Structure 1
Amino acid sequence: MWRYLFALFIWLKCLFPLASAGLLQPSARHHPDVRRFEIDLTWQNASPDGFERKVILINGQFPGPQLDIIEGDEVEVVVKNSLPVETAIHFHGISQQGTPWSDGVPDVTQRPIQPGQTFIYRWTAVEYGSYWYHGHAHGQISDGLFGAIVIRPAEDRPAPFEKISDSIQGLKKIKQAVSKPTPVFVSDWTHLTSEEYMKAAMESGIDNFCLDSILINGKGSVICKPQDELNSLTRPDQTMLLGNETVTDKGCLPFYLPTVVGDFPIKPEKVPEDVYYNCKPSGGQHEVITVEPADGWASFDFISSASIASFMLSIDEHKMWIYAVDGHYIDPIHVDGTPIPNGNRFSALVKLDKPFRDYTIRVANFASSQLISGFATLRYKGQDGTPKPSNPSMGYNGVNLTTDYVLLDENKIAPYPPSKPAAIADTTYKFDIGFFGAAFRWTVSGKSALNISQDIDPILFDLDGPLATNKNLTFPTKNGTWVDIILKTDGLFNPPHPMHKHSHKVYVIGKGTGQFPWDTVEDAVKEVPQFFNLETPPLVDGFTSPPGSEKEPGWVAIRYEAINPGPFLLHCHVQTHFAGGMGVVMLDGADKLPEVPPEYLKAEF
């Protein structure tokens, strides 16, 4: 009997290991198939880049602890709001199949969690792969409210690893590596809190301030480079916008340039001191990721939690096999570097076949607004002693340094196993995205800006409410139908926008420059088929619109099947753009909306 009980104890211990640093295991299983996590949000002082400011800590850490889940699990996340302000948490990329009340968007799927309140999010892990959770109220991502989600795939889940290695031993080591991926958050950071940032933006009329640092897994430093070096690093896209000016000592485009703020009025005196100028170096902790070379391979989930920046990433002297994007497997692509737009996740395998020493992980902002980079270290365990610099393939400005450099082409991402959308959509929406009357106001629909956290009854609770009935912001679809959305970028200078569709993954079926005069994609394909891919299009929950202007507009077309009824956002993941109104609500499956459980209607658990 004792031998049986001891064996049972060991089995349970293996199944539900204790929490470790950065990994939040279930606190208890109230039901055999339920994983329950408890997180406490607090507002405390921290110094991620050597400068102390208030930060949202999750269970006392930043970034928050990882939620470790298995495909098919039922999940409960108990959130205690110990912040001085209201909050909400969105589980980015999770479909919320049958649980739209757990999508985490104030005014849309829930009431915000008030200070001192506890809220329980419940959902089913029908996905597998790399995801993340983050704040979805008041720009709280930029205060540190985010953490990783890793959902281990079911054992019978088809995987593309034979396309990377065809040897039995190689496949074994690859599978071991992907069973324990290392999440790597790449973030931008400012010394202003999200509230201070938005207040300054609205008062000054400027929406895109300078960053202070780039963090990797919440660690980094403020880097100040000499003006001559900054001038030499300035890229052609920035030179075009600068005219006769130079970047500031923080590497920023000056805020007063017409190419930056357009014709909108600004109040320079309301711009906080030291935001664009007076770079002051400071040193925070440096992230070191140690790998065991005997493992043969390492797997990384690169996650962009950026508020503003758009990143390029590379690892010195190491190519990467990108094998999953936004959680789902793709046909693997061998690259030297990859873009990581805001909110997206790129899973990569790295072969550990180099000399045992340190190699620099480089993360550069590729948005035109600023020259800034962050760094971490990939360290081989058992390194051979004297440190020496590794050879970069990408510069501080995100530009490749070698002639054979291969950058991931997002247009060539193909789902694995192969899948494709329906040949024709049932419904088409065309939106004009961009500025909406001010440099800090933005729109998706082209007709109105979306204000979140107005303390109104959520759409899910009240279909007769002000947001649900606003035909400029809320757009219905029928359950089981295919939906096309065409986003057009023209008007004033329109930068690329990293867009995110809640709940449903979307096929990116077309992208081009020029006007989009057609009523439907079907009409467009007849005239310009070269701009479309209906056979192997990327399947993602985040995609980037092309830049546009009056002289050279652009457009992108997505297609998805509305199979999960509920009100779900489509919005820009640049935090200032979303806070400035850049979103719409797709009322998916409006004819089949589920009944909301009483505890969510009352927010009493």
Structure 2
Amino acid sequence: MGTIRRTVLPLPLVMGMHLLCLLSIGNAEDPYLFFEWHLTYGTISPLGVPQQGILINGQFPGPEINCTSNNNIVVNVFNEIDEPLLLTWAGIQLRKNSWQDGTPATMCPILPGHNYTYKFQVKDQIGSYIYFPTTALHRASGGMGILKVHSRPLIPIPFDNPAEDHAILLGDWYNKGHKTLKRILDSGRSIGKPDGIQINGKSNKVGDASVEPLITMEAGKTYRLRVCNVGMRLSVNFRIQDHAMKLVEMEGSHTVQNEYESIDIHVGQCMSILVTADQTPKDYYFVASSRFFKQVLTSVATIRYANGNEPASPQIPLPPPENSVGIAWSINQFRSFRWNLTASAARPNPQGSYHYGKINITRTIKLSNSRQVVDGKLRFAVNGVSHVDGETPLKLAEYYGKADQVFKYDLVKDEAERGDKVVVAPSVKNATFRNFVEIIFENQEKTIQTWHLDGYSFFAVAIEPGTWTPEKRQNYNLLDAVSRHTIQVYPNSWAAIMTTFDNAGMWNLRSDMKERAYLGQQFYFSVVSPALSLRDEYNLPATQELCGIVKDLPRLALYT
């Protein structure tokens, strides 16, 4: 991954920004980082087949954002492809600021030939996150990268500083390209199985000549690898020949430092491992293979020791079993993931909510995913509602008091609904500000699911096979469940999370499997502060684009 190209600004603007920086210092404001990104088409070959990809500053994967907790991030995005697009910052808790979330319900898309400047703060966060396009099927062609949030220098991390810090973006890949995949879905069909697995934009098989290693390590040193699943559909298991992997961070939380021979990582998830170069200096394979899928897809990359001159052994470590025992294996691994409560790090808001096991639940929401055919076309639904995006972002319609012209609230009920009837409509669910809730994901399908919630971290307290009942709460981890933003649900199983709706705005709860999200398996939570105060939510930004039925309306400042 290359370095980020920074904006070259004219002298008057530089002087103005210098004055702004002086004012920021005087006000003890957190530092600003400025980036300029140009999204273009270019030829890429993640599986060895040349195809049109979406590049950022000529790169795939895109540039890394390296920042520190509480930094202010300003990214000027130039759309130089031929379709409208948006980028989202998955897992970044945009406090009071769903305006920058980059989803079709919160923002107008960036039109071809136009640019938009995202402005947000990585408030009280550390860890590993990804950004990617949310529009159409653009994620299938690239436009994605990693966002690293480091701890502030005076806050110790619970492990020695690694020799190097590397990002590994892996996941399933299709050779068809985003336009073809979108046409398939729009015609009412499924995009089918992926063609392979890519690792940082490349795919190799055992025995392939490796021109460039994924990582070069020096004997005796320890390295941090931030591994993220940026695929469209498949869970992946990764492992490293002859090397133990120590898990130290997951989606913004330091974890209890257990060692693993292999780890499952589901779509949309990120985690950090430490690997020590403690073996004979030679090449070793980093192996990634699909999970819970009939056909096992495998790709490898080379990890090289400096001064090593032997190729990697062709005997690669095997993935876990692919049957019911495999589900049990994965559930047990999930249960082994624990939050490191002794580590010095940013805590989720409100402060003290990490004592979540002592907070009374005010609401239980049960959600069931389903796959159905509606008017001859494939759709996916949540509690019988299949979401569609319209011309007017739902957040803008709500802000201008025109929600009733665009959508109906609470089509998705709190009780899981199953059956043949599906409502296809924009889907927004009301949530009470600062309520502490539990959400139960029930999966009665034969395929694994992954869910993501924008704007929040939640406590992933349980995953079990079978059907959820209130008695299952006695099996919850109410002490040190990892605070994160994605949760997987295995076939014919359920998962439970807990969170506080303390972040006002409109926030997307979606399947992280892009086909399912595109065809309706998502909805939005509307979280409104009764005080209508700037303390709780920002006003419409002055630079925000307006579109749809609010396009020509005057800009309003509702909050004071």
- Give the corresponding residue for 2:345: none
- Give the corresponding residue for 1:435: 371
- Give the corresponding residue for 2:195: 212
Change (3 A) 1:435 1:318: same
Change (3 A) 1:576 1:72: same
Give the distance between the partners of 1:555 and 1:213, measured in 2 at CA. Answer: 28
- 1:95-151 deviations in Å (ceiling 9; x for gaps): 011221111001x21001110110011001221111111001112111111011111
- Give the corresponding residue for 2:273: 348
Change (3 A) 1:541 1:369: same
TM-score by length of 1: 0.75
Letter in 2 for 1:311: V
Three-state SS of the structure 1 residue aligned to 2:515 is helix
Give the distance between the partners of 1:339 and 1:398, measured in 2 at CA. Answer: 12
- 1:244-281 deviations in Å (ceiling 9; x for gaps): xxxxxxxxxxxxxxxxxxxxxxxxxxxxxxxxxxxxxx
Letter in 2 for 1:325: M
Letter in 2 for 1:598: A
Give the distance between the partners of 2:497 and 2:481, measured in 1 at CA. Answer: 10
Native 8 Å contact 1:322 1:347 kept in 2: yes
Give the distance between the partners of 2:197 and 2:210, measured in 1 at CA. Answer: 12
- Give the corresponding residue for 2:539: 595
- Give the corresponding residue for 2:167: 183
- 1:56-87 deviations in Å (ceiling 9; x for gaps): 01111111111111212111011000010000
Over aligned residues, Cα RMSD in angstroms?
A: 2.7
Please, which of 471, 481, 497 is the counterpart of residue 435 of structure 2? 481
- Give the corresponding residue for 1:570: 509
Please, which of 175, 186, 195 is the counterpart of residue 179 of structure 2? 195
Give the distance between the partners of 1:353 and 1:416, measured in 2 at CA. Answer: 26
- Give the corresponding residue for 1:291: 216
Give the distance between the partners of 1:286 and 1:147, measured in 2 at CA. Answer: 23
Native 8 Å contact 1:489 1:547 kept in 2: yes
Change (3 A) 1:389 1:114: same
Please, which of 109, 112, 117 is the counterpart of residue 115 of structure 1? 112
| 1:456 matches 2:414 | no
Native 8 Å contact 1:49 1:285 kept in 2: no
Give the distance between the partners of 2:3 and 2:126, measured in 1 at CA. Answer: 17
- Equivalences for 1:395-434 in 2 at 5 Å? 395=319, 409-417=333-341, 419-421=354-356, 422-434=358-370
Deviation for aligned residue 1:580: 1.0
- Structure 1 stretches of 5 or more lacking a match? 1-20, 162-173, 226-282, 400-404, 518-523, 549-553
- 1:273-308 deviations in Å (ceiling 9; x for gaps): xxxxxxxxxx99866123332561011000110011
- Equivalences for 1:46-445 in 2 at 5 Å? 46-106=44-104, 108-126=105-123, 127-161=125-159, 174-177=160-163, 180-203=164-187, 205-221=188-204, 288-294=213-219, 296-383=221-308, 385-389=309-313, 391-395=315-319, 409-417=333-341, 419-421=354-356, 422-437=358-373, 440-444=378-382
Deviation for aligned residue 1:412: 2.4
- Give the corresponding residue for 1:511: 463
Give the distance between the partners of 2:283 and 2:292, measured in 1 at CA. Answer: 28
Native 8 Å contact 1:461 1:601 kept in 2: no
- Give the corresponding residue for 2:424: none
Give the distance between the partners of 1:380 and 1:510, measured in 2 at CA. Answer: 40
Give the distance between the partners of 1:302 and 1:330, measured in 2 at CA. Answer: 15
- 1:324-347 deviations in Å (ceiling 9; x for gaps): 001221111110010110110010
Change (3 A) 1:487 1:413: same
- 1:191-238 deviations in Å (ceiling 9; x for gaps): 1112211322443x54251222211100115x699xxxxxxxxxxxxx
Change (3 A) 1:537 1:406: closer
- Give the corresponding residue for 1:253: none
Change (3 A) 1:285 1:390: closer
Letter in 2 for 1:538: V
Letter in 1 for 2:234: A
Deviation for aligned residue 1:601: 4.6
Give the distance between the partners of 1:195 and 1:584, measured in 2 at CA. Answer: 24
- Equivalences for 1:11-50 in 2 at 5 Å? 22-24=2-4, 26-27=6-7, 30=17, 31-32=20-21, 33-50=31-48
Three-state SS of the structure 1 residue aligned to 2:255 is strand
- 1:521-565 deviations in Å (ceiling 9; x for gaps): xxx1xx3444322122221111101212xxxxx322211111211
Three-state SS of the structure 2 residue aligned to 1:576 is helix
- Give the corresponding residue for 1:9: none
Three-state SS of the structure 1 residue aligned to 2:161 is helix
- Give the corresponding residue for 1:268: none
Three-state SS of the structure 2 residue aligned to 1:291 is strand
Give the distance between the partners of 2:505 and 2:511, measured in 1 at CA. Answer: 19
Native 8 Å contact 1:485 1:557 kept in 2: yes
- 1:423-479 deviations in Å (ceiling 9; x for gaps): 3222222222121435831112x1211123x22133245353355533222112222
Three-state SS of the structure 1 residue aligned to 2:386 is coil
Three-state SS of the structure 1 residue aligned to 2:451 is strand
Give the distance between the partners of 2:133 and 2:366, measured in 1 at CA. Answer: 29
Native 8 Å contact 2:47 2:202 kept in 1: yes
TM-score by length of 2: 0.81
Letter in 2 for 1:498: T
